[in-house]
Structure formats: structure tokens, C-alpha cells
């Protein structure tokens, strides 16, 4: 995870900008273009606009997959463009399969497409996580794996919290058992939604050293107050993702989409910095 | 799910052939070709070889994703080729995300790429399953969604079975609540590994009407005896997937890869038919 940590320290920012390109929300001036072209231009513009204020970018693979093979070409181009700007890319793929299948996904996203880190779904257990960790270790690019533990959406509770012990505890222990120290954090991190602070606090107790990736900041209701319980004892350990609040900031602004996104990223980074969050 | 049911009845076969193209296991004569080209040729040849004996094909998306944008082009070509042979395609993508993200994945695989059905990961709860069901309903191609319930790999037990109530029961109820009758089966089915008959039997009690997709037959140790507890009260309700046992049958045979795959498919279909399994 050291590539993320180094970038966060250099930028004094724990903010991750999520690229969720949704063509129906693109600004007017891009809507005349073909979807693939508009997606590439929009994302490149956003990358440049937010670069000064973010530690990394997270690409939501579904929005590229939706565009077919050409969309995966754009996904590759954007990971490359982020790298050129000094931004490590987190491939938000949430893949969850086993053995050679998981290894093929890991090879695709951490190898061929060149993301530094990846999100992984643990429903199939350790077999679903290890091949990604092994690929990240082989690549030695300072990356790692963020395992879904407690996600930010409402219906996840039914699955992740209602059993005894709660599923999120089982997955938390799985993450603790699989990670290896690599720089300042273990290479197995956790996705812990910013919308569930009480659960997040318990996960932090069980994983005192791990790096969390925390979605749900902004649009989904996460805020500085809901991030605080997730921090480790040095106010560290959390990367905060914001996607649509940054990308579509222009919808609530008189500014153009680039300036609006830049300003939204600057504000979120500042809010988190003033709250003391850092890596 | 009626497209699958109709094909199974027409062929008198509950067998699904899984396309897991692993270049290192390709026959000698294909190894000189570039990987993408070899993958397309191998899969097209297998499709034609097994067509008489299978109800459907299941494409393991990871092995195409691994080849980059060109791999997704091959994935599209194979789904089209299967359709031309009268074989419905199951996109084994195991995607698990929510809201517009899940909708984008559903649009990609059930829409753009044209698979009839899809596998889905329920870690994020109902939000992760509904967008796929809605897309399948909109497309009206006789398809549906197979939700991972009890998978066939060893480490899944730790996640799916050790809580109280066991996670597989929670997901089973989620599947029961989301499916709508559409032809002979509800449009929400379940992935239930052929390697865990005792769990499979309990899932069948809770989901007496649903269609199961059962991987693990052959290479992973599943057999007619481990499929039997999964059948419904009319010896129906189960599609049995076999991937590598069919694809790489030539490794244990004097025949060429096409004949060996065809013979392996014929044998598996016959074994299941003699056991009385049908849709």
C-alpha cells in the first residue's frame, strides 16, 4: 500500500477521487459526442482538475465494461493517464472468484491494465482473496488489496451484520490473517463504508493496523464525523473515497465541470485535513 | 430461465459446458498462435464439438478479461456463436456491486454482450441482485440471475457456513424473496456447488421451486451422487456445469481435443440422464 501512502503524504490528502462516468450526468457540452469519446474526455479532464488535491483515483470498472471492448481501452488509457500524473489507481472491480479465475482477474487489473490496487469480494472466502494478494506481491508496485468488509449501502446490513458472529467480523479476521506488512501498512486492507461508523469502529478494533478504503463520503451521507471512528490511533489508516460529489459538482455550481470538480476536491481534502486525518 | 429450460428439454440434457480457456492447457497445435487467436479458435471448436449434448454454455469472464479489450471482443463473438448454435449463454461474471454500478454490469453482460443469464455475488445484499433481475426482465430473453449461495471451493465454508444462522440460509431467503415466476422456474436461481450435497439439500428445502446452477461436477469432485440431493421433487431444478473436465478431456485421451471434448460431454450428459435428472 506504500504507493498510496506516499502519494497521500506528498499531497497532504487522504482523499481518493472515484471515476464513476455516467453519461446521462455528463455536462451538456459533452453530450453530443459518442459515449466512449465523451467518457474518455470527461474522465481525463476530471483527473487533471482534481490531481492537486487527491492521493489516488479509483476507477469503477462497471462504467467502462458497459461500453464494451472500447470501454476497456478507455479504462486502460485512464489508468495510464493517472500514472503519468503521479496518481496511483485503485481498480474498483469487486471481483470475487477463486483459484485460476481469481488469478486471471488479478493479472488483468494489476498486470495488464496496470492498477496499483484492487477491491475484492470475499463471499467465496480466502481462495478469492489470496490470488490478488499474490499478484500484488509479485508486481511490487506498492499496491495491495482492499477486501469488502462493511459496505456503505443500506441492504448490505442484512447480509453483513445479522448473523452471530456478524459476517463482517469473520471477514475482518480473514483480512487480518492474510495481510503481510509492506511499508507502513499490511497489503490486505478493508473497504469500510463511511456511512456505518459504529460498525467501522468495531472493525478498527479488530484491525488496528490496516488501511481502510472508505466509500460513501459526500453523496451517500458519509462525513468527517462518520469517518472519525474508522481512524487508527494516530488519526491514520483511512483513505476516503468521493466519486459523484466531485465528478458532478458542476450540477450544483455556476462553474464549469472542471473547476467545480477541482473545487469540490479541494474542499473535501481540506475538510479531512482539518479534521486531522492523514496517512 | 425458460430459454435454459427449453434448451435442456430439447437436448434431453441438464449439462452446461463451461468455457474456461486457459492457454497453458491448450493443445499443442494451438500454442503457436497468439493467445487471443488461440482462445477464440479453441472455444469455437469446443462449442461446435459439445453442442449436441449440452443445454447451454457458461463463459468464465475472467479468462477473457485477462486478454484485455481484445479478449472482451472474443467474449462477445463466442456469445454470438453460441446463440447461432441455439445455445443460451450464461455469463459467469459473479459481479457484486450496487445501484447504477450493478445496472451498468447488467447492461454490459445481458445487453451489449448478449448473454441470456448471469451469475451474481450477493455480499452487498439485495441492492446487488435486483438491478440484474430488472435488466433480465427488461430484456425478456428467457434468462435470469444465478445468485452465489453455496460455492464449491473449500474456503467458502468459513464464510458461508460458520455463522448462526449460516450465511447461505440468509442468501437463500434473499433469492426466494426476489425471484418472480417466469415460465417453469422463478427468474432468480442459485449457484449451489455439486461438492456440498448436505448443504445443497438444505438449500433445496428452502428453495423448492428454484433453478440451481451447480458447478464442481467432474474435476472438483462433484458426481451424480452429490447432485441428487439438489434435485427438486420431480428430479428437476438443476443445471450441472462441467468446465475443465470437458475442455481438457484430450489430456487424458488419445483423441484430438474436439473429439475428446465431445465424448466427455456425451458421457456426462448420459450419466446425468440415466440418473433421471431433467428440467
pLDDT in tens, B240-257: 999 999 999 999 999 999
Which residue in A77, A108, A149, A174 has the most chain B C-beta atoms within 10 A of its own C-beta, making it the best mutation to test that interface? Answer: A108
Per-residue cell: B165: 444462522
Q: Is A53 on the interface with B (CB under 8 A)?
A: no
* Distance set, CA B224 to CA B14, B153, B221, B271, B275 (Å): 12, 18, 10, 7, 7
Burial of B265 (0-12, 13-18, 19+ CB in 10 A): buried
Q: Give the span between the Cα atoms of A134 and A82, in whole angstroms.
A: 24
- Helix, strand, or coil here: B250? helix
Q: What's the mean pLDDT in B113-138?
A: 97
- The DSSP secondary-structure symbol of B183 reads T
How high is the pLDDT of residue A189? 98
**Is A22 in CB contact (< 8 Å) with chain B?**
yes
User: Does an H or E element contain B200, and which?
Assistant: helix B197-206
Is the previous residue joined to B89 through a cis bond, with omega within 30 degrees of 0? no
Cross-chain CB nearest to B73 (options A22, A69, A100): A69
Q: How buried is B231 (Cβ within 10 angstroms: 0-12 exposed, 13-18 middle, 19+ buried)? A: buried
**Which residues is B192 bridged to in the sheet?**
B150
Is residue B221 predicted with pLDDT exceeding 80?
no
Nearest CA in chain B to A165: B163
Comparing CA positions, the residue from A52, A50, A55 lying closest to residue A236 is A55
Chain A residue numbers with beta carbons less than 8 Å from the beta carbon of B160 are: 123, 125
Q: What is the pTM of this model?
A: 0.97
Element (H, E) at B62: helix B62-65
Q: Which three cell numbers stand for residue B236?
A: 428437476
Question: Is the CB of residue A227 less than 8 Å from the CB of residue A217?
Answer: yes
Q: What is the mean pLDDT of residues B274-279?
A: 92
3-state per-residue secondary structure call for A21-45:
CCHHHCCHHHCCCCHHHHHHHHHHH
pLDDT interval class at B152 (50, 70, 90): confident
Query: What's the confidence (pLDDT) of residue A217?
Result: 85
Kindly state the DSSP code that residue B251 receives in the 8-state scheme. G
CA distance B138 to chain A (A): 17
Chain B neighbors of A173, CB-CB under 8 A: none
Determine the pLDDT at residue B195.
Answer: 86
Distance (Å) of CA B151 to CA B39, B126, B214, B257: 26, 18, 9, 29
Query: Cα–Cα distance between A150 and B81 in angstroms, integer?
Result: 40
Contact criterion met (CB < 8 Å) for B62 and A101: yes
The structural domains of chain B, ordered by start, are 2-274 (3.20.20.70)
**pLDDT value at residue A104:** 98
Q: What share of chain B is helix, strand, coil (3-state, %, to 5)?
A: 50, 15, 30
> Can you tell me the distance from the alpha carbon of A213 to that of A119, in angstroms, rounded to the nearest whole number?
9
Is-contact A126 B157, C-beta < 8 A?
A: no
Residue A109: the pLDDT is 98
Cβ–Cβ below 8 Å for B68 and A108:
yes
Interface pTM (ipTM) of the complex? Answer: 0.97
Question: Which chain B residues touch A24 with a CB distance below 8 Å?
Answer: none
pLDDT digits over B72-116, tens only? Answer: 999 999 999 999 999 999 999 999 999 999 999 999 999 999 999
CA distances from A102 to A93, A117, B31 (A): 12, 14, 23
For residue B119, the SS3 value is strand
Distance set, CA B117 to CA A142, A260, B69, B105, B140 (Å): 38, 40, 22, 12, 11
Q: What radius of gyration, in Å, describes the C-alpha atoms of chain B? A: 18
pLDDT at B231 over 80: yes
Beta-carbon contacts of A140 under 8 Å, excluding residues fewer than 6 positions away, are none
pLDDT of residue B140: 87
Predicted local distance difference test score (pLDDT) of residue A196: 83
Taking every pair of Cα atoms in chain A, the longest distance, rounded to a whole number of angstroms, is: 53
Q: Return d(Cα A115, Cα A4) in angstroms, integer.
A: 12
Q: How confident is the model at residue B218 (pLDDT cuts 50, 70, 90)?
A: confident
Cα–Cα distance measured from residue B270 to residue A178, given in angstroms and rounded to the nearest whole number? 43
First to last CA, chain A: 11
CA dist., res. B268 & res. A124, Å (int): 26
Concatenated DSSP letters for chain A?
-HHHHHHHHHHT--EEEEE---GGGS-GGGTTS-HHHHHHHHHHHHHHHHGGG-SEEEEETHHHHTTHHHHHHHHHHHHHHHHHTT--EEEEEEE---HHHHHHHHIIIIIIS--SEEEE--TT-HHHHHHHHHHHHHHTSS--EEEEEE-SSTTHHHHHTSSBS-HHHHHHHHHHHH--EETTEESEEEEE-TT-HHHHHHHHHH-TTPPEEE--BSTTSB-HHHHGGGS-TTS-SEEEEE-HHHHTGGGG-SS-HHHHHHHHHHHHHHHHHHTT---
Instruction: Confirm whether B58 is a catalytic residue.
Output: no
Going residue by residue through chain A, which has 279 residues, state the pLDDT in tens, using 9 for 90 and above. 999 999 999 999 999 999 999 999 999 999 999 999 999 999 999 999 999 999 999 999 999 999 999 999 999 999 999 999 999 999 999 999 999 999 999 999 999 999 999 999 999 999 999 999 999 999 988 999 999 999 988 899 999 999 999 999 999 999 999 999 999 999 999 999 988 889 999 999 999 999 999 998 877 777 888 899 999 999 999 999 999 999 999 999 999 999 999 999 999 999 999 999 999
Q: What is the pLDDT of residues B21-50, one digit of tens each?
A: 999 999 999 999 999 999 999 999 999 999
Return the residue matching grid coordinates 488419445.
B254
Contact A98 B153 (CB under 8 A): yes
pLDDT of residue A152: 84
pLDDT at B154: 87
Residues A159, B174: C-beta atoms closer than 8 Å: yes
Nearest of B56, B45, B50 to residue B83 by alpha carbon: B56
Amino acid at each position: 500500500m506504500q504507493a498510496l501512502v506516499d502519494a497521500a503524504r506528498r499531497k497532504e490528502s487522504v482523499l481518493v477521487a472515484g471515476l464513476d462516468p455516467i453519461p446521462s450526468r455528463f455536462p451538456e457540452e459533452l453530450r453530443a459526442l459518442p459515449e466512449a469519446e465523451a467518457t474518455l474526455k470527461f474522465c481525463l479532464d476530471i483527473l487533471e482538475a482534481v490531481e492537486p488535491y487527491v492521493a489516488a483515483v479509483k476507477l469503477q470498472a462497471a462504467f467502462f465494461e458497459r461500453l464494451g471492448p472500447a470501454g476497456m481501452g478507455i479504462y486502460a488509457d485512464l489508468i495510464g493517464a493517472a500514472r503519468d500524473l503521479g496518481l496511483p489507481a485503485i481498480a474498483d472491480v469487486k471481483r470475487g472468484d477463486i483459484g485460476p479465475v481469481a488469478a486471471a482477474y488479478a493479472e488483468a487489473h494489476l498486470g495488464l491494465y496496470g492498477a496499483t490496487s484492487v477491491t475484492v469480494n470475499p463471499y467465496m472466502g480466502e481462495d478469492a482473496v489470496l490470488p490478488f494478494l499474490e499478484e500484488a506481491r509479485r508486481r511490487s508496485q506498492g499496491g495491495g488489496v482492499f477486501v469488502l468488509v462493511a459496505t456503505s449501502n443500506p441492504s448490505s446490513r442484512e447480509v453483513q451484520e445479522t448473523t452471530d458472529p456478524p459476517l463482517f467480523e469473520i471477514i475482518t479476521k480473514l483480512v487480518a490473517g492474510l495481510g503481510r506488512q509492506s511499508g507502513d501498512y499490511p497489503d490486505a486492507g478493508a473497504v469500510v463504508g463511511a456511512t456505518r461508523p459504529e460498525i467501522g469502529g468495531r472493525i478498527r478494533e479488530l484491525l488496528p493496523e490496516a488501511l481502510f478504503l472508505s466509500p460513501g463520503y459526500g453523496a451517500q451521507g458519509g462525513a468527517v464525523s462518520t469517518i472519525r471512528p474508522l481512524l487508527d490511533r494516530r488519526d491514520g489508516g483511512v483513505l476516503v473515497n468521493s466519486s459523484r460529489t466531485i465528478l458532478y459538482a458542476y450540477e450544483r455550481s455556476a462553474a464549469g465541470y472542471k473547476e467545480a470538480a477541482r473545487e469540490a476536491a479541494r474542499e473535501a481534502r481540506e475538510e479531512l485535513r482539518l479534521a486531522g486525518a492523514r496517512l
